């Protein structure tokens, strides 16, 4: 770990979701106080959706002005709009449909039945353009991305984050901000994902892992493994990197890196 990294261990998965939701509300409110708006990159999967559900039930939910929040996604399953397996669909069901969001600030990745049809490369290029536009004229290059306030990532048992899988070309991408992924090792095989440099543009990167099956991945990544072998190890924020784990996922971490919270 570097000096901007922190590991927080929670008693169980439910507590991790509640605590992360509370952290997220605080961060977004503080960002709005500082800059007028806030931005978050959402993640799908079991833990990402649990955080959104916890946020939906939080009594502090309205401390954030949701009309001034930009929402992005770290990756997406390249499926038709509204497909129940899409991260965007699951996020809407867990939280977004209950919030007074500005639709223009909800930046879903293109679906497979969108304007580009079943061409994931064109869809990725379109999303990269949307990110570059949001980054503004001050940012250099067509592949620029905004300085997201927070970017959430679920960590897979194989150490993948977003749709960056060990050994896949996307892990080595240094130019494009968004790329298509084909033949992914988990279904569906075709996806769109942010690349490592786009992820590292975020002020804060939060990595979520829960369950014994994530323990080896967490230990390997926190220890600073080669990101080509363990993509989660290369996910870091410009200001802070936060590992949010439950006790089971933290089971193989050395004691000195654990800041256990009850």
**In the chain, where are the structural domains located?**
5-260
- Asked if CATH classification 3.40.50.10860 holds for the domain at 5-260, the reply, yes or no, is no
Q: Under a CB-based contact definition with an 8 Å cutoff, are residues 20 and 8 in contact?
A: no
The closest of 209, 196, 208 to 236, measured between CA atoms, is 196
Specify the pTM.
0.94
Closest CA to 236 of 210, 187, 202: 202
**Three-state secondary structure string covering the chain:** CCCCEEEEEECCHHHHHHHHHHHHHHHHHHHHHHHCCEEEEECCHHHHHHHHHHHHCCCCHHHCCHHHEEEEECEEECCCCCCCCCHHHHHHHHCHHHCCCCHHHECCCCCCCCCCCCCHHHHHHHHHHHHHHHHCCCCCCCCCCCCCCEEEEECCCCCCECCECCCCHHHHCCCCCEEEECCCCCCCCCEEEECHHHHCCCCEEEEEECCHHHHHHHHHHHCCCCCCCCHHHHCCCCCEEEEEEECCCCCCCCHHHCEECC
What pLDDT sits at residue 262? 34
State residue 213's pLDDT score.
96
Report helix angle 87-94 to 45-56, nearest 10. Answer: 30
- Provide the token pair at 259: 């800041």
In whole angstroms, give the CA distance from residue 249 to residue 218.
7
Residue count of the chain, please give it. 262
| Model pLDDT, residue 36 | 97
pLDDT value for 142: 60
Ranges in the chain, pLDDT < 50: 259-262
């Amino acid at each position: 770990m570097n000096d901007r990294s922190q590991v927080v261990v929670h008693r169980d998965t439910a507590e991790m979701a509640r605590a992360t939701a509370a952290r997220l509300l605080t961060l977004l409110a503080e960002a709005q106080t500082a800059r007028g708006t806030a931005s978050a990159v959402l993640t799908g999967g079991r833990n990402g959706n649990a955080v959104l559900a916890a946020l939906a039930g939080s009594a502090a939910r309205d401390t954030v002005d949701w009309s001034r929040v930009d929402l992005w996604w770290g990756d997406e399953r390249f499926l038709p709009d509204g497909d129940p397996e899409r991260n965007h669909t699951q996020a809407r069901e867990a939280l977004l449909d209950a919030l007074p969001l500005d639709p223009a600030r909800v930046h879903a990745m293109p679906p497979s039945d969108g304007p580009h049809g079943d061409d994931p490369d064109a869809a990725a290029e379109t999303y990269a353009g949307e990110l570059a536009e949001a980054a503004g004229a001050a940012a250099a290059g067509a592949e620029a991305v905004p300085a997201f306030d927070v970017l959430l990532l679920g960590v897979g048992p194989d150490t993948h984050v977003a749709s960056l899988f060990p050994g896949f070309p996307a892990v080595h991408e240094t130019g494009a901000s968004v790329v298509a992924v084909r033949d992914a090792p988990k279904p569906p095989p075709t996806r769109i994902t942010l690349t490592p440099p786009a992820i590292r543009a975020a002020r804060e990167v939060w990595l979520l892992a829960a369950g014994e099956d994530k323990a080896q991945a967490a230990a390997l990544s926190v220890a600073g493994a080669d990101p080509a072998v363990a993509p989660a190890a290369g996910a870091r924020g410009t200001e802070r990197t936060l590992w949010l784990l439950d006790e089971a996922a933290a089971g193989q971490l050395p004691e000195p890196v654990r800041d256990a919270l009850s």
